[in-house]
Amino acid sequence: MGNFLRLALRQMDVQLRMRVLSLWSLGLFFTQPAIFSAVGMLLAHAAGNANPDLIYTVIGGGIMGMWSGLVFTSTFDIRADRREGTLELIVGSPTPLRRVVGFRSLLNILAGSTSMLAAVTAAVLIFDYSFAGINVPAVILSFALLLFGLWCMGIFLANLLAWSRLSGTFVDLLEMPIALLCGFMYPISVLPSWMQYISVVFPIRWSLQAMREAMRGTAANAELLSLWGISLGISLVFYLFSHWLDVKVHDHIRVTGELHSI
Amino acid sequence: MPDQKAISTNQMQKTFKTRQGFWRRTTRVTEAVRDVTFEVNKGELFGLLGPNGAGKTTSVKMLSTLLLPTSGTITILGLDILRDTTEVRKRIGFTFGGARGLYGRLTAVENLRYFAELYAMEPALTRKRIPELLELVNLLDRGNDKVETYSSGMQQRLHLARALLHDPELIFLDEPTVGIDPVGARELRATIKELKARGKTILLTTHYMAEADELCDRIAIINKGRIIAMDTPAGMKSGMTSESVINLRTSNENLTALKAILSPIDGKATILCKENTVQSEVSIRTAHPSRVIEVISPWLNTDLIQTMEMRSQTLEDVYVAIIQNEEANG
């Protein structure tokens, strides 16, 4: 257990200093979400909505920051390690790659949650967002499930990147479509029904919906329970698929010799 | 009786398949390593020599579990690399040439701490090992500097310290002195000798024949994925033949005339001519040096032969001869 915790702390420490504490990442976590939030507010006002729903506009921007940060840091990690020649040193050590990827993704998620925190703070301080009616325990649980869903998606994407350097382009292209499909900045009900069908496979769609309902305090417990259950279930599917992919990746990269390729 | 073999390979083979083309996909098959069989004893320093693309690094990567062999078997310290991968990884260390493989924005100590965690080392042992190793590779006074400020030689030595962190029994050093200045390379060779003296088994790949001659107990020459010679450096030099090497220098204008003078010994010697900017070099490898001297002696101290040097064969001569024979025979 001691070894496990030390490994976790060391991975997260190095991840923080090598990848997260950079202008690029800080831009992803704070600047980009601020721009999204500002655009969201402007569009709402332009559409004649004098009191836009801050959960979608401002806080939605924070969720965008978490998501973009996760996609780019988790996938950038593997690319950077491959480029720096450290990927083969990690794979050649007794520690499984999945453990390294898991701890790094966790740090990425935690770092990304500062984006959400900043967005909520901005909503309260700048736009007088009120927490009236909020179901605090439900919000906390929904947020935890949101983080878990993001983590499962993060390790899945990182494994995909380890599988093949070509998958990097594919993963980059996923950032905006998933943000749009999961309704980070607007109710998912405004999407065409076929798009709503696609978005059901992403756990963060369900945990986000639960979090919004809990922030408003409007949802019944049964509804929240079903949203949490779906989110957790899909997250676990992502996790199991990542685990399966990890084994495949370990063999695949040792067959193709892609460990050291740029 | 415990297994005295540190490495044992049997018909080790690696084939890479690469797909090319967008519309009309073709698969290109490259046989990087072909039927390589050899053994390395515990405590031995074994050299793997060969030209670029010969299969040295691919072989080392298979031996260090980073690549899976397409066929054949590999046993490391009595363990099968496919079945006991994790156990093998705990007991080996490896470095690959070049500056990659370190986190530049971290210090040497932080890099070593990071890799120590990957090997699940106890904190007390890590604290003890890091200064010891930094001292061994002569980096103790720069341990708290960021690695991105290091020279290539310092990075290479840090690679070695990293590979030794968990005190592995078997160390793979892939071109450890590549890109290092002569002083740095000498220091690194001294460190490698010290490791051997401590009983470590080392597999070294290098382009530098003098380095292999100085360090290795045995060497294998690999070309086009196959081992084409294997012996001790001394055995390889004497076993090749008892040939001598005579080097002549002449001006570029006189090269054709000198070649004509040497024509009587054609067939009794291997003659290599190299035309440089000002001078040309003629290298004659022969088992009959007296015959060659007899032919060239009238021309000594003339413009035709500016300098002459005669020496016994070096490992480099043997290596070049073996590779050339291999190329000539297809």
- ipTM for the assembly: 0.80
Residue range B209-222: mean pLDDT, rounded? 91
pLDDT, tens digit, 9 for 90 and up, residues A76-105: 777 788 888 888 899 899 988 888 888 888
Q: What residue of B is the nearest CA neighbor of A7?
A: B117
- A187: closest CA among A153, A212, A216, A204? A212
Chain A residue with Cα closest to B159 = A89
For A109-135, b/e burial (b = at least 16 CB within 10 A) is bebbbbbbebbbebbeeeeebeeeeeb
Q: How far apart are CA A165 and CA A78, in angstroms?
A: 9
Around A5, how many Cα atoms within 13 Å sit in the side-chain half-sphere?
Answer: 3
Whether residue A261 has pLDDT greater than 70: no
Q: What number is the average pLDDT over the span A135-145? A: 92
Q: Provide φ and ψ at B279, rounded to 5°.
A: -110, 160
Is the Cβ pair B117, A255 closer than 8 Å?
Answer: no
More confident residue, A73 or B89: B89
Q: Are A105 and A155 in contact (CB under 8 A)?
A: yes
Least confident window among A24-28, A221-225, B281-285: A24-28
Using CA coordinates, name the residue in chain B closest to A88: B66
Report pLDDT for B87: 94
Q: What is the DSSP string of A189-239?
A: GGS-HHHHHHHTT-HHHHHHHHHHHHHHT-S-HHHHHHHHHHHHHHHHHHH
Selecting from B89, B98, B106 the residue whose C-beta is nearest the C-beta of A92 gives B89
Phi/psi for B101 (5° steps) reads 105, 10
Q: Per-residue pLDDT for A262 more than 50?
A: no
Q: Note whether A7 contacts B120, CB cutoff 8 Å.
A: yes
Asked if B288 has any chain A CB less than 8 Å from its own CB, the reply is: no
Q: In angstroms, what CA-CA distances link B205 with A63, A84, B119? A: 51, 22, 24
Condensed to tens digits (0 to 9), the pLDDT of residues B20-51 reads: 777 777 888 888 999 999 999 999 999 999 98
For an interface test with B, the pick among A166, A254, A258 (most B C-beta atoms closer than 10 Å) comes out as A254
Consecutive H or E run containing B322 = helix B315-328
Q: Which residues of B touch A7 (CB under 8 A)?
A: 117-118, 120
Answer yes or no: do B89 and A94 touch at CB < 8 A: yes
pTM: 0.81
Tokens at B214, concatenated: 């100085």
